[in-house]
Amino acid sequence: PSQSGCSIEDISSAGERLQWKLQCTAPIPAEGTGETFYSGTSFTGTAVMRTDMAGMKLEVATRYSGRRTGDCH
């Protein structure tokens, strides 16, 4: 789905691994990649976003993790 000028592309999964690419056109053009690994009731992952702001290249890398805490209500 597209939100705020961004769209997720090239989603692929194999086993416990999910990968994707992100392309944004507004408000600042940017592109990124990410992957998530699932294991039982937990997950870990990384995402990297890249952009060029006024001639200055910027890269932001994020690591994340989480776990299931119970049933949804």
Helices (H), the chain: none
- Distance between CA atoms of 37 and 14, rounded to whole angstroms? 10
> Residue 30, exposed/middle/buried by CB under 10 A (0-12, 13-18, 19+)?
buried
Note the pLDDT of residue 46.
98
Please state, in angstroms and rounded to a whole number, the distance separating the CA atoms of residues 7 and 21: 8
Give 10-residue mean pLDDT values along the chain (73 residues). Answer: 77 96 89 96 96 92 95 84
0.75 exceeded by the pTM? Answer: yes
